[in-house]
Amino acid sequence: MTPEETGTDLERRQAELRSSTLQQFRRAGSDPVTQALLRAVLEYRLEEAGSSGTKAGTLVSATAPGPSSSEESGNGASDASLAALTLQSVLADMGQLPALPEVVIDLIAYLERPDVEANQVAHKMARDPALCAKILRIANSSYYGLQGQVETIRDAFAVLGLRAVRTLVAGAAVANHLQALAGRQQRAFWVHSAGTALCSRALARQVGANPEVAFTAGLLHDLGRLILVARFANEYHGVVAYRIAHDGYMIDAERRVLGFDHAQVGAALAQIWKFSAETVAAITGHHAPEGQPAQALAGLIHVADVMAHALGFNGNEEDLMPRLSSFAWNRLNLGWDDFRRLLAEVDAQRNDAEWVLN
Ligand SMILES: [Fe+2]
Ligand SMILES: [Fe+2]
């Protein structure tokens, strides 16, 4: 609370926070995990707004969200009258997308080798100054606690390690490439992607998964949506119209209208671009983590996606907070106190999200 803020201002801010949080959870269902998530997010937000947070419990019990949407369609029935596009035609179009720049393919292949030399990588990366700048920005972000100290790619290797640089190079390269392809006007998309990347990394570190792999998978999880919006804008308008008319989730609208969803499209593209099987499976399963094997990254990315929405890293107003899968949540074996701490941790890293956009 700022010193000049009056009690009324604070109450108004808290009321706004409650209503925006409940808006996020509008369709999120009434199962106990979702209720607990809502409580954790509200408590965190109210604490942030200068409240003791004790009001959150009252609010949760007084205004439980409605039953979960009946829109869930699985991958089932599409509405044939609306479907002009097929997954096959989208995949065929991907063949027409400009390939990843040669410097990136070269780098990713080189970084797979057992005898990688930092000098060689620095030399290869010098051909792509925008990529170098992005990697240096990540290395200097507050997450690594080295602000301003990493001046060269060789420094980045020394402080981050080979595996981290490899994953970040791949993620940053694809982000650069897609920005060139789809245009930078998709700012909301990149805010959501960067936010999910930060949440994925925080969750991974907490549960002992690889933070850099999680970061890149979080960054790319909605890749398929960008492709659909950028390459098939007319067809996608039909999806948005369906979502509005049925007041459901975008993913369900995609399945109904198109007969497939952005998770399938994104996974196909990640495979074409030779991301690891783990990353491809995480993209495929981020809206359906139940089908994934134990320790799979999909469940973590699913929770990170929900967490990013809770922190306001939304794609756009059509992009509602997904239903939290209790299966994915329980697998992470994370307490709500830990979750609230991670919300604060990512909130404090907000500026780190900017690297994606610059
Ligand atoms: Fe998604
Ligand atoms: Fe998402």
What is the CA(263)–ligand 1 centre distance, in A?
Answer: 6
Mean pLDDT of 260-268: 94
Is the pLDDT score of 83 beyond 50? no
Mean pLDDT of 164-169: 76
Give 157's pLDDT tier (boundaries 50, 70, 90): confident
CATH number of 87-357: 1.10.3210.10
What pTM was computed for the model? 0.78
The number of the ligand nearest the C-alpha atom of 263 reads 1
What is the CA(315)–ligand 1 centre distance, in A?
Answer: 10
> For the chain, give me the number of helices (H) and strands (E)?
20, 0
Q: What integer pLDDT is reported at residue 74 of this predicted model?
A: 37
Mean pLDDT of 102-107: 77
What is the CA(107)–ligand 1 centre distance, in A?
Answer: 28
Q: Please list all protein residues whose beta carbon sits less than 5 angstroms from ligand 1, which is an ion.
A: 222
Give 81's pLDDT tier (boundaries 50, 70, 90): very low
Reference 175, options 104, 121, 231; nearest CA is 104
Handedness of CA 184, 351, 54, 326 (dihedral sign): positive
What is the CA(13)–ligand 1 centre distance, in A?
Answer: 30
Q: Exposed, middle or buried by CB within 10 Å (0-12, 13-18, 19+), for 312?
A: middle
Mean pLDDT of 117-141: 81
Greater confidence, 53 or 111? 111
What is the CA(190)–ligand 2 centre distance, in A?
Answer: 10
Mean pLDDT of 78-84: 46
Whole-angstrom distance, CA of residue 335 vs CA of residue 313: 22
List for the chain the helix, strand, coil content (%; round to 5): 65, 0, 35
Mean pLDDT of 146-165: 78
Question: In the numeric block, which tokens belong to residue 58?
Answer: 């009252």
Is the pLDDT score of 61 beyond 60? no
What is the CA(193)–ligand 1 centre distance, in A?
Answer: 10
What is the CA(305)–ligand 2 centre distance, in A?
Answer: 5
